[in-house]
Every structure is written in structure tokens, then in C-alpha cells.
Amino acid sequence: MEPSVWQELYDYNFWANRRVWESVMALDEAYFDQELGGDRRSLRLQCIHILAVEYWWLHFLDTGVVEFIEDDEQLRSRADVRRMWDEVEVMARDYLARLTPSDLTRTVRPDFWRDPWSVHLWQGLMQVLNHSTDHRAQLLDAVRELGGPTSEQDYLTYLHDRAMAASGR
């Protein structure tokens, strides 16, 4: 397994995150903290949850230290949340650029897991991608319900957009 595969998959993840942000930003700021009902809470808390999970997993995989973003009170506005999301992306890209094939097969286990099991580092990377996709879909559904625009986040759409940009179209 090559690190370049994970770099591309995370490039897709960040592309999809930016597309969701475009949808969130198209709504009035007042919707950002509006209760959505069910498990979705609010757009703000959903966005913080995505970035927090991306942060703690990637920080843990890089350093072995579990560190959570817990102070969501400092992330009140869309600008605050977006700034943190951009910082997490920079941190993640730096980490992914340093990955080696042997890193990917290393086993990891966050210290708060109760059961004595571990996963390969690449499985932790996959968890982050799947988790973010799940919550982006929830965010897009909420944006649609609030009357905002949504867009595709499919991997093939990403590949198409990238190919068109590379060909100057």
C-alpha cells in the first residue's frame, strides 16, 4: 500500500469538505446554530464534529497522543469553524506527506479504547474518510432542508473535476 493513495483519498476528502462548506456558506448565518432535530444537532456542531474527529485521529496517528478539540465555544461563527477546518487540513496534509509504506501497516490503539484490540494505521485513515463522508451527507441533507444549495461529493465527481482542471476546461 502506497502513501500516495492515501494522499489522493484525503485530497478528495478535503475537496468534498470544501464543497460542503460552499453549501453551508450559502445559507444565512442564523441557520448555522439552529437546532436541526435528531442526532444532527446544528450545522455548527456537525461541522465541529467532523473537524474534531479528523483532527484527533490524524494527530493521534502522527504523534501517538490523543488530543481532542473540546472547546466548541471558541468556534462560534462559520468563519471560526472554517479557519479551524483549514488548519486541520494543513496539519493533515503535512502528516500525509511524511507517511511511509511501513507506517501504514503499523498497529495503533488509542488509549481510551476499553477492549484490548488495535487497528492498522491505514484502517484509522479509512475510518476518518468514512466518518467524514457520513457526516457530510447529513450536513448536505440539513442544508437542503433549510433551502440551501447542495452539490455532489462523489469520488468520481472529484476525479472528473480534477481532470477537467488539468486539461484547462
Average pLDDT estimate for 119-140: 96
Average pLDDT in the chain: 93
Residue 62: domain span: 3-166
> In the chain, pLDDT over 70 holds for what percent of residues?
98
| Residue 127 to residue 130: CA distance in whole angstroms | 5
Band (pLDDT 50/70/90 cuts) for residue 71 is low
Among the ranges given (3-17, 22-36, 47-61, 71-85), the one the predictor scored with the smallest mean pLDDT = 71-85
Q: Which ranges of the chain would DSSP assign to H, the alpha helix? A: 3-26, 43-63, 78-98, 101-105, 121-145, 155-166
* Domain CATH code at residue 123: 1.20.120.450
How would DSSP label each residue in 17-40? Answer: HHHHHHHHHHS-GGGGG---SGGG
Answer for the pair 142, 43: CB distance below 8 angstroms, yes or no: yes
Band (pLDDT 50/70/90 cuts) for residue 7 is very high
Amino acid occupying residue 59? H
| Residue 158 to residue 133: CA distance in whole angstroms | 13
Band (pLDDT 50/70/90 cuts) for residue 142 is very high
* pLDDT value at residue 76: 82
Count of structural domains, the chain? 1
Answer whether 0.75 is exceeded by the pTM.
yes
Average pLDDT estimate for 99-115: 95
3-class SS of residue 107: strand
